Amino acid sequence: MSHVSSYKTVRRGRKAAAGNVGRPSVAWALPGILFFALFAIVPLAIAVYLSFCHWDGLNSPTPIGTDNWTRLFKDPEFRQAAWLSLLLTSISWAFQTPVALLLGVWAAGKQRSRAVLSAVFFIPLLLSTTAIAMLFHALLDPNFGVIKTIGPWVGIDPNVMGSSTGALLTVAFVGGWQFMPFHTLIYQGGTRQIPQVLYQAAEIDGAGMLRQFFHITLPQLRHTITTSSVLMIVGSLTYFDTVLIMTRGGPGTDTTVLPYLMYRTGFQTYDLGYAAAIATALVVVATALSLILVRFSGFGNMRSTREGM
Kindly tell me which of 79 and 211 has the beta carbon lying closer to other proteins: 79
β-bridge partners, 63: 53
Kindly tell me which of 136 and 187 has the beta carbon lying closer to other proteins: 136
Give me the phi and psi of 62, to 5 degrees please: -115, 125
Q: How many CA atoms lie within 13 A of 25 on its CB side?
A: 1
Kindly tell me which of 137 and 222 has the beta carbon lying closer to other proteins: 137
Cβ 243 to other proteins, closest distance in Å? 12
Give me the phi and psi of 292, to 5 degrees please: -60, -45
The answer to whether 88 touches 228, Cβ cutoff 8 Å, is: no
Kindly tell me which of 58 and 116 has the beta carbon lying closer to other proteins: 58
Cβ 61 to other proteins, closest distance in Å? 5
Kindly tell me which of 175 and 266 has the beta carbon lying closer to other proteins: 266
The answer to whether 63 touches 276, Cβ cutoff 8 Å, is: no
Measuring CA to CA, which residue among 309, 305, 109 is closest to residue 219? 305
Contacts of 80 (CB under 8 A, 6+ apart): 253, 256
Kindly tell me which of 60 and 196 has the beta carbon lying closer to other proteins: 60
CA end-to-end span of the chain: 24
Measuring CA to CA, which residue among 87, 88, 51 is closest to residue 70? 51
The answer to whether 79 touches 73, Cβ cutoff 8 Å, is: no
Cβ 159 to other proteins, closest distance in Å? 4
Cβ 96 to other proteins, closest distance in Å? 24
Cβ 114 to other proteins, closest distance in Å? 38
Binding site for other proteins (CB under 8 A): 45-46, 49-50, 55-61, 63, 137-138, 140-144, 158-164, 247-254, 264, 267-271
Cβ 47 to other proteins, closest distance in Å? 10
Where do the H-state alpha helices sit in 108-163?
Answer: 114-126, 129-139, 146-150
Cβ 99 to other proteins, closest distance in Å? 26
Kindly tell me which of 63 and 98 has the beta carbon lying closer to other proteins: 63
Rounded distance between C-alpha atoms, residue 9 and residue 6, angstroms: 5
